[in-house]
């Protein structure tokens, strides 16, 4: 039996990134896609608690089924696992995302939300992102890397509670692959105030990213800035163990 991969994203089921991913992997596994019906960037691990959800079959052919859902990326994974998949997926993939999900962006990313949800279900899960927001971004240079990484995870799995956040710089060729930690960074000047002609103020979420440790060479940000593919192992256990041990004297 061929492996089964569940794919979702936060750019919508029609995005070039997710379509490119299907084309890269459909000869390796059966694929079920359940993705938002439109862009849901920045939804992180949010899910719909008060809104009814719908599923729409968009495409079906040998080995590939594509559904859209009116919910968040995490809703898509939950809905697919509960209502579409007839067997447990061998892997969950988020992406390919249009845009950078390295550093603190991982906390906001709906693509990482997909991957974290798969990880919470103890399914080997990976997020793939290209640092290019353009709708017509070129995903072809990623093909051999994504195929190799996906095959490796399908064969070897991942430790329970750990998923992978994989980011690609914009390049036709990469200098290699680095397994690295998440860089510390900050989003600055995040809101821009405007005045509407009808007399009220409104704000756009904008801002720019600031690397807070530019000299560090072991981070995802350094890897991307230097032409490397960045693989950041990410865990769902958020416990700060070192601090916990330091505060053992708080116990009564």
Residues 6+ apart with CB under 8 A from 110: 9, 10, 36, 40, 41, 42, 43, 44, 46, 72, 73, 74, 94
Q: What is the dihedral of CA 110, 113, 115, 119, to 10 degrees?
A: 180
Q: Are 210 and 188 in contact (CB under 8 A)?
A: yes
Q: What pLDDT tens digit does each residue of the chain (252 aa) get?
A: 899 999 999 989 999 999 999 999 999 999 999 999 877 887 788 888 899 999 999 999 999 999 999 999 999 999 999 999 999 999 999 999 999 999 988 998 999 999 999 999 999 999 999 999 999 999 999 999 999 999 999 999 999 999 999 999 999 999 999 999 999 888 777 788 899 999 999 988 887 888 878 888 999 999 999 999 999 999 999 998 888 888 777 877
Q: Report pTM.
A: 0.92
**Among candidate residues 243, 242, 112, the one with its CA nearest the CA of residue 182:** 112
Using the 8-state DSSP alphabet, how is residue 242 labeled?
H
Q: Are 7 and 35 in contact (CB under 8 A)?
A: yes
Please give the structure tokens belonging to residue 25: 């992997």
């Amino acid at each position: 039996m061929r492996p089964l991969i569940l794919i979702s994203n936060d750019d919508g089921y029609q995005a070039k990134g997710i379509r490119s991913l299907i084309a890269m992997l459909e000869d390796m596994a059966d694929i079920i896609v359940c993705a938002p019906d439109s862009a849901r960037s920045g939804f992180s691990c949010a899910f719909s608690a008060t809104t009814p959800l719908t599923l729409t079959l968009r495409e079906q052919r040998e080995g590939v089924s594509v559904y859209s859902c009116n919910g968040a990326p995490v809703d898509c994974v939950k809905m697919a696992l509960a209502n579409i998949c007839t067997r447990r997926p061998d892997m969950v993939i988020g992406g390919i995302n249009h845009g950078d999900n390295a550093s603190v962006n991982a906390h906001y990313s709906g693509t990482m939300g997909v991957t974290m949800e798969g990880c919470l279900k103890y399914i080997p899960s990976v997020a793939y992102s290209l640092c290019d927001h353009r709708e017509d971004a070129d995903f072809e240079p990623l093909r051999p890397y994504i195929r190799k990484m996906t095959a490796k995870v399908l064969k070897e799995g991942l430790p329970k509670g750990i998923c992978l956040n994989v980011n690609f710089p914009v390049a036709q060729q990469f200098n290699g692959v680095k397994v690295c930690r998440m860089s510390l960074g900050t989003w600055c000047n995040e809101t821009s105030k405007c005045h509407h002609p009808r007399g009220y103020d409104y704000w756009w979420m904008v801002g720019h990213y600031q690397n807070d440790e530019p000299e560090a060479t072991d981070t995802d940000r350094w890897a991307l800035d230097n032409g490397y593919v960045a693989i950041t192992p990410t865990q769902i256990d958020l416990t700060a163990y070192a601090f916990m041990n330091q505060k053992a004297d708080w116990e009564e």
